[in-house]
Amino acid sequence: MIRRIGLILLLQTLALLAMVAIKQWTLSTGTEILLETQPIDPRSLFGGDYVQLNYAISRLRPAELEGDDTFDREAIYVVLAKGERYWQALSIHHERPEVPPDRVVIKGRVQFVQEGSWNPVTGKQELAKELNVHYGIENYFVPEGEGKALENPKSGEKVEIQVAVDSLGNCGIKGVLINGQPRYRERLF
């Protein structure tokens, strides 16, 4: 009986530690990239104690990018290249493509495909097909009370997210920057 209990504890503890180890592997071995955030609701970027993040690469238009054209609710690979400051999407693929060292491939999942969408620049409804993609970096938990302090970013304040992308395309948030200054940094302990 005691041996069996020990075995259960070993299995369950290993499962829990594996969750931490896999994440930590991504953060320590992954290529560091900087992503621009686009608030979902500009009046409430930080909702309570966890932050909901939306990125420029969260909404992709296959017609405007290289790679494959038709997508459903499925896993995809997005090739990113460094722009002036932020990393930007170059192409979308069903299978993981080989890329030169100055580019990274990030794995995401299409949440839904929108047939037409509103363009914030032109202020018009456009018919271009748009993919809404999640990468697993859309939520970030902040300590109690601090989320509220950041709820309304002051005018001109810029929120940037440092992300690590590992060789398999998995990613994780490494840090949160406000106006280029680190506000939160992920550590193992």
- Site of interaction with another protein (CB under 8 A): 1-2, 4-5, 7-9, 11-13, 15-16, 19-20, 23-24, 49, 73, 109, 136-141, 143-146, 172-173, 186-189
Contact by Cβ (8 Å): 52, 77: no
Q: From the CB of 137, what's the least distance to another protein, in Å?
A: 7
Q: State the DSSP string of 107-131.
A: EEEEEEEESSEEETTTTEEE---EE
Distance CA(157)–CA(159), nearest Å, equals 7
State phi, psi for 145 to the nearest 5 degrees: 90, -30
- Among residues 104, 123, 94, 125, the alpha carbon closest in space to that of 57 is found at 104
Q: From the CB of 13, what's the least distance to another protein, in Å?
A: 6
Residue ranges in the chain assigned as alpha helix (H): 2-29, 146-149
Question: Degrees (nearest 5) of the Cα angle 95, 90, 175?
Answer: 95
Looking at the Cβ atoms of 120 and 145, the one nearer to another protein is: 145
Q: From the CB of 87, what's the least distance to another protein, in Å?
A: 19
Q: From the CB of 124, what's the least distance to another protein, in Å?
A: 30
Looking at the Cβ atoms of 92 and 173, the one nearer to another protein is: 173
Q: From the CB of 121, what's the least distance to another protein, in Å?
A: 29
Q: Radius of gyration (Cα) for the chain, nearest Å?
A: 19
Distance CA(35)–CA(99), nearest Å, equals 19
Looking at the Cβ atoms of 50 and 118, the one nearer to another protein is: 50
Looking at the Cβ atoms of 52 and 103, the one nearer to another protein is: 52
Q: Structure tokens of 134?
A: 């999640």
Contact by Cβ (8 Å): 72, 54: no
Looking at the Cβ atoms of 91 and 135, the one nearer to another protein is: 135
Looking at the Cβ atoms of 91 and 107, the one nearer to another protein is: 107
Q: From the CB of 147, what's the least distance to another protein, in Å?
A: 10
